[in-house]
């Protein structure tokens, strides 16, 4: 992040420090992840809508938090792209779920990008609308 603001003469001294900061951030990720999970558990705004999901799927939710955190601390951060909602299906970014169609009804699973506007790591999954006439009623 900070590399872009440095002059070339400063860059060679900063890169080893910057790499070390990144390594340390990844080493303490486990502590950060545990703290994040704890913070979410006591956040009633977060917990209330998902109470039954978390009750039965806590290991899954914990793993999702861990993966999202690890993707976020990358430099640059990886991106979960939900942007296909209410749009024409982008077949380069998303595969179809249980039916075919041209327009997105909802995103089942987001696409994963290496970084913002970066290359696609994994296609997402979308559920298309049943027909074009269904789009008008949405």
Distance between CA atoms of 136 and 138, rounded to whole angstroms? 6
pLDDT value of position 2: 47
pLDDT value of position 7: 61
Residue 130 CB partners (closer than 8 Å, separation 6+): 99, 101, 105
Domain boundary assignment for the chain: 1-76, 78-138
Instruction: Show pLDDT as tens, one digit a residue, over the chain (138 residues).
Output: 444 555 666 667 777 887 888 788 778 888 888 888 888 888 888 888 888 887 788 888 888 888 998 898 888 999 999 986 568 999 999 999 999 999 999 999 999 999 999 999 999 999 999 875 544 555
Please tell me whether the overall predicted TM-score, pTM, comes out greater than 0.85 for this model. no
């Amino acid at each position: 992040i900070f590399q872009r603001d440095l002059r070339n003469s400063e860059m060679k001294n900063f890169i080893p420090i910057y790499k070390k900061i990144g390594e340390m951030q990844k080493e303490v990720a486990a502590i950060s992840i545990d703290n994040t999970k704890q913070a979410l558990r006591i956040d009633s705004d977060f917990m209330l809508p998902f109470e039954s999901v978390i009750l039965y799927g806590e290991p899954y939710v914990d793993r999702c938090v861990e993966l999202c955190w690890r993707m976020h601390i990358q430099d640059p951060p990886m991106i979960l792209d939900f942007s296909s909602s209410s749009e024409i299906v982008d077949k380069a970014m998303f595969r179809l779920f249980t039916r075919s169609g041209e327009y997105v009804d909802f995103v089942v699973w987001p696409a994963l990008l290496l970084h913002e506007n970066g290359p696609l790591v994994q296609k997402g999954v979308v559920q298309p609308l049943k027909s074009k006439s269904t789009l008008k009623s949405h």
